[in-house]
Amino acid sequence: MATTFSFDAVELTAVIAEWEALHTDLLAQRTGFDELQRLTAQLPAEDIMTRTFINTASHAATAANGSSEDVLIFVDKFLRKLKEAKDNYASMDEGGANLISVVME
């Protein structure tokens, strides 16, 4: 059985704000991963330990950046859906108010 959630407009706005904050945090993380990749592009020394460390750090940064990108894509899509839901909610609310107005006249 699928789980369903129900929000009013105020709750939906709060949920959107939380997901937008997560989006901002993910963008900041990407900057850190990009910087780590930039730093590991050149070897500071030629010894085996340095090469091993830099190689490992570079692969880790690349993998983390790829995972972060995947999560960012998911968050972008989910935010779009939340905003569409909020717009639909507002349209239905407005439509209901217009209907009540017509009935009351």
Residue with token string 């009935």: 103
Contact 79, 15 (CB under 8 A): no
Among 39, 44, 43, smallest CA distance to 61 is for 39
Average pLDDT, the chain: 82
Residue with token string 């779009």: 80
Instruction: Give residue 101's pLDDT band: very low, low, confident or very high (50, 70, 90).
Output: very low
Dist CA 52 CA 74 (whole Å):
33
Q: So what's the pLDDT on residue 31?
A: 85
Instruction: Determine phi and psi for 25, rounding to 5 degrees.
Output: -60, -40
Dist CA 69 CA 72 (whole Å):
5
Q: So what's the pLDDT on residue 14?
A: 92
